[in-house]
């Protein structure tokens, strides 16, 4: 994928994903024109024989019998063309959205957190949807613009070279108008996308901070600001629509004038004022009517292309915003590594590890060296900004160190660098419990099976019992099939945290990563979570981020970080011994936080 690829080149390259539907749409449009020629022949023949030739009814039988099937066939072909175009657009949109979501997953949570959620959702949904008009309508129409006029010229030219010349001379007026309209269309569409993203961010921030705004009694003022942002978006949208309607009006004008010129020519020929542009056969009623019926079809592809031209500008504006994500370079790893499945507890060795966030001058971790033994529980403490979360991100393989290595050993095999292990294999060995447990909209079983998709109901119940949720399960009206999340049963913070713990038990991973698992819990919930954690830590390698002295009691050793460097690493008893860094600490959470 070329980094200097333009939006137009990207749109053309992506079109191959729905090429078969685009081809079917073009074929249906071409066949529709051929059927129209049959209709024109039937109508012109009937008029010529009835009005001029005075032929009997039997001579009209063939065109009369052909005309109804031709009308039906043309209607079916127009519908097929529309359906095929729409299907091609949907197929391409689904492919692009899948690629975009996969790319976001590869870029990782750290990158996603730096993006505003409203902007990201706008890109995934609205801007991908903005590609539909280009692939469903504009691109097939662009191909038909090169096919249909040639077919009609080929049919008209043998009948009257002057009529063909009029069509050929007036046809370019419509593309010229489209080119002039297109100069401002893309810029206005880009402005609309920017305003939509700004409005989405503003509205989401207002919703998330609504309680704070109410408490400070400024919610009405903020509502006015949201109204102002939405009004700005409305004005930009109306500018785009005005341009689209103006373009359609001008196209209709040019097409009508062009058809009128052709009709004037034929009229003057019939009046005997013009005697050029004809061959030896002259121009009778059949030829004139046949040409006039086909003339609108000559301009119709160009008119429709003009109507859909704003879809091209919209798609190019969307592509320009999507391409930086799709083309963004990421840490590349050899995907041909052999499968990795540890057979025993994991030992982690950090050797001179340095990690830095993008755009930051100072590293978040600086030359950290330590070994976490198999089945050991290591607690990590330190003030905010000490590098605790960075350490977890490195262990989860979400962040790649700029120097040093992280080596992994399971006791039965030689140690290997984390970069030599496939990401899926490594993350399959990780169980994670964070400060905010994610509850997805679905049943309790759905939420638990996020950790183990093939777990039976009995295994799910055992995991809930390990997490001290068996009594709560017994109270649920539908048991494991009780719906949680949006539109379902409300879940308290303590219950959500224990659901996350149940997932960790279901995962049965070799490495458990815990980030403040008891934060913001009441005393009873904290006690239940502590009991579950003590069971979870047995027989596993555990890294625990905490500020609470109670959780430090679960740890075999405590790592103290300060400004990205190791300040101390020892048992809790040694750190609290006289002269140790925690010598003056009590069981106060605040004192541990500020050591």
Placement of tokens 């919610």 in the chain? 219
548 touches 589 (CB < 8 A): yes
Q: What is the CATH number of the domain that holds 350?
A: 3.40.50.300
Burial of 96 (0-12, 13-18, 19+ CB in 10 A): buried
Q: Does some domain include residue 477?
A: no
Q: What's the rounded Cα separation, in Å, for the pair 267 and 63?
A: 25
Is 256 in the same domain as 405?
no
Q: What's the rounded Cα separation, in Å, for the pair 515 and 542?
A: 11
Q: Does some domain include residue 514?
A: no
Query: Looking at the chain, how many residues does it have?
Result: 595
Q: What's the rounded Cα separation, in Å, for the pair 564 and 387?
A: 5
Q: Which residue has the higher pLDDT, 177 or 91?
A: 91
Quick one: pLDDT at residue 397? 87
Quick one: pLDDT at residue 590? 42
Placement of tokens 């393989």 in the chain? 397
- Is the pLDDT confidence value at 70 over 90? yes
- Is the pLDDT confidence value at 555 over 50? yes
Number of H helices, E strands in the chain: 23, 12
Placement of tokens 């006690």 in the chain? 527
Q: What is the pLDDT of residues 559-582, one digit of tens each?
A: 999 999 999 999 988 888 888 887
Is 314 in the same domain as 353?
no
DSSP per-residue codes, 26-74: HHHHHHHHHHHHHHHHHHHHHHIIIIII---GGGGHHHHHHHHHHHHHH
Quick one: pLDDT at residue 559? 93
Among the ranges 56-65, 81-90, 417-426, 569-578, which has the highest mean pLDDT value? 81-90
Closest by CA to 521, choosing from 509, 511, 532, 530, is 530
56 touches 101 (CB < 8 A): no
Placement of tokens 């308290």 in the chain? 492
DSSP 8-state secondary structure symbol assigned to residue 331: -
Quick one: pLDDT at residue 548? 79
Domain ends where: 291, 326, 361?
Answer: 326
Is 298 in the same domain as 348?
no
- Is the pLDDT confidence value at 422 over 70? yes
Q: What's the rounded Cα separation, in Å, for the pair 493 and 471?
A: 16
- Is the pLDDT confidence value at 106 over 50? yes
Helix axes 19-47, 285-307, angle to 10 degrees: 150
Quick one: pLDDT at residue 87? 94
Closest by CA to 309, choosing from 190, 182, 193, is 182
Q: Work out the pLDDT band at 587, boundaries 50, 70, 90.
A: very low
Q: What is the CATH number of the domain that holds 301?
A: 1.20.1560.10
Q: Does some domain include residue 69?
A: yes
Q: Does some domain include residue 204?
A: no
Quick one: pLDDT at residue 594? 46
Q: Is 407 helix (H, G, I), strand (E, B) or coil?
A: strand
CA 549 to chain centre: 43
Host domain of residue 82: 7-196+237-326
Query: E strand or H helix at 582, and its extent?
Result: none
Q: What is the pLDDT of residues 212-236, one digit of tens each?
A: 777 677 767 777 777 777 777 777 7
- What token pair was written down for 339? 């499968």
Is 118 in the same domain as 163?
yes
Q: Does some domain include residue 466?
A: no
Structurally, the chain folds into a number of domains equal to 2
Placement of tokens 């949006």 in the chain? 486
Q: Is 396 helix (H, G, I), strand (E, B) or coil?
A: coil
Is 253 in the same domain as 398?
no
Q: What's the rounded Cα separation, in Å, for the pair 444 and 465?
A: 14
Quick one: pLDDT at residue 220? 73
**Strand 403-409's sheet: what is its strand order?**
365-372, 347-355, 403-409, 416-417
Q: Does some domain include residue 472?
A: no
Q: Does some domain include residue 294?
A: yes
Is 322 in the same domain as 366?
no
Around 180, how many Cα atoms within 13 Å sit in the side-chain half-sphere? 10
Q: Which residue has the higher pLDDT, 141 or 343?
A: 141
Is 272 in the same domain as 247?
yes
Burial of 416 (0-12, 13-18, 19+ CB in 10 A): middle
Quick one: pLDDT at residue 589? 44
Closest by CA to 346, choosing from 510, 543, 513, 512, is 510
Domain ends where: 302, 326, 350?
Answer: 326
Q: What is the pLDDT of residues 130-173, one digit of tens each?
A: 899 899 998 998 899 889 999 999 999 999 999 999 988 887 77
Is 303 in the same domain as 355?
no
Closest by CA to 434, choosing from 378, 392, 406, is 392
Q: What's the rounded Cα separation, in Å, for the pair 71 and 136?
A: 24
Q: Work out the pLDDT band at 202, boundaries 50, 70, 90.
A: low
Q: What's the rounded Cα separation, in Å, for the pair 278 and 121?
A: 62
327 touches 5 (CB < 8 A): yes
Q: Does some domain include residue 489?
A: no
- Is the pLDDT confidence value at 515 over 70? yes
Quick one: pLDDT at residue 460? 93
Is 141 in the same domain as 93?
yes
Q: What's the rounded Cα separation, in Å, for the pair 291 and 288?
A: 5
Domain ends where: 264, 296, 326?
Answer: 326
Average pLDDT, the chain: 83
Is 299 in the same domain as 407?
no
Q: Work out the pLDDT band at 591, boundaries 50, 70, 90.
A: very low
Is 303 in the same domain as 399?
no
Q: What's the rounded Cα separation, in Å, for the pair 146 and 167?
A: 14
CA 72 to chain centre: 40
* Residue 521 falls in which region: left (phi positive, over 0), alpha (psi -120 to 50) or beta: beta
- Is the pLDDT confidence value at 184 over 70? no
Is 66 in the same domain as 156?
yes
Quick one: pLDDT at residue 588? 44
Phi, psi of 522 (to 5 degrees): -75, 175
Q: What's the rounded Cα separation, in Å, for the pair 87 and 91?
A: 6
11 touches 316 (CB < 8 A): yes
Q: Work out the pLDDT band at 360, boundaries 50, 70, 90.
A: confident
Q: How far is CA 8 from CA 3, 5, 26, 244, 570, in A?
A: 13, 8, 20, 20, 60
């Amino acid at each position: 994928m070329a980094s200097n690829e333009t939006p137009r080149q990207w749109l053309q390259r992506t079109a191959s994903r729905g090429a078969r539907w685009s081809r079917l749409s073009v074929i249906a449009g071409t066949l529709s024109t051929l059927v129209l020629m049959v209709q024109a022949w039937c109508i012109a023949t009937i008029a010529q024989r009835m009005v001029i030739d005075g032929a009997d009814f039997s001579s009209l039988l063939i065109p009369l019998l052909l005309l109804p099937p031709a009308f039906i066939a043309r209607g079916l072909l127009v519908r097929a063309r529309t359906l095929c175009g729409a299907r091609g657009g949907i197929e391409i949109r689904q492919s692009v959205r899948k690629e975009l979501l996969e790319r976001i997953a590869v870029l990782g949570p750290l990158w996603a957190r730096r993006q505003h959620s409203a902007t990201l959702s706008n890109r995934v949904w609205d801007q991908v949807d903005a590609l539909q008009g280009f692939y469903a309508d504009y691109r097939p129409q662009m191909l038909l613009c090169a096919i249909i006029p040639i077919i009609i010229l080929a049919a008209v030219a043998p009948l009257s070279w002057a009529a063909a010349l009029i069509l050929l001379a007036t046809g370019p007026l419509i593309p010229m108008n489209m080119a002039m309209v297109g100069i401002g269309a893309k810029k206005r569409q880009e402005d609309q996308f920017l305003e939509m993203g700004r409005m989405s961010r503003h509205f989401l921030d207002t919703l998330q901070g609504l309680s704070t705004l109410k408490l400070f009694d400024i919610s009405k003022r903020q509502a006015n600001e949201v109204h102002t942002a939405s009004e700005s978006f409305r004005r930009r949208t109306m500018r785009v629509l005005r341009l689209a309607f103006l373009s359609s009006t001008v196209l209709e004008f040019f097409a009508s004038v062009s058809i009128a010129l052709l009709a004037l020519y034929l009229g003057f020929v019939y009046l005997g004022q013009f005697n050029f542009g004809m061959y030896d056969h002259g121009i009778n009623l059949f030829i004139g009517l046949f040409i006039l019926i086909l003339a609108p079809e000559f301009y119709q592809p160009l008119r429709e292309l003009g109507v859909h031209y704003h879809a091209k500008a919209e798609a190019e504006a969307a592509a320009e915003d999507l391409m930086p994500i799709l083309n963004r370079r990421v840490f590349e790893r050899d995907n041909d590594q052999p499968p990795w499945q540890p057979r025993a507890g994991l030992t982690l060795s950090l050797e001179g590890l340095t990690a830095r966030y993008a755009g930051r001058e100072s590293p978040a971790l600086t030359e950290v060296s330590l070994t976490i033994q198999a089945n050991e529980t290591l607690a990590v403490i330190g003030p905010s900004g000490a590098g605790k979360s960075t350490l977890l991100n490195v262990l989860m393989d979400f962040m790649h160190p700029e120097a040093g290595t992280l080596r992994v050993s399971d006791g039965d095999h030689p140690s290997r660098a984390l970069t030599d292990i496939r990401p899926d294999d490594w993350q399959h060995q990780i169980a994670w419990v964070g400060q905010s447990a994610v509850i997805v909209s679905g049943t309790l079983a759905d939420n638990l099976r996020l950790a183990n998709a093939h777990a039976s109901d009995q295994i799910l119940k055992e995991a809930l019992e390990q997490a001290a949720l068996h009594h709560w399960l017994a109270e649920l009206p539908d048991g494991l099939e009780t719906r949680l999340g949006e539109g379902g049963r409300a879940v308290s913070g303590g219950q959500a945290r224990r659901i996350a713990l149940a997932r960790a038990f279901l995962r049965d991973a070799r490495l458990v990563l815990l980030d403040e698992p008891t934060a913001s819990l009441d005393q009873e919930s904290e006690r239940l979570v502590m009991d579950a954690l003590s069971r979870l830590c047995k027989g596993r390698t555990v890294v625990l981020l905490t500020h609470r002295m109670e959780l430090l009691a679960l740890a075999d050793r405590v790592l103290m970080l300060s400004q990205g460097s190791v300040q101390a690493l020892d048992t809790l008893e040694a750190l609290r011994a006289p002269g140790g860094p925690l010598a003056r600490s009590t069981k106060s959470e605040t004192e541990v936080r500020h050591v």
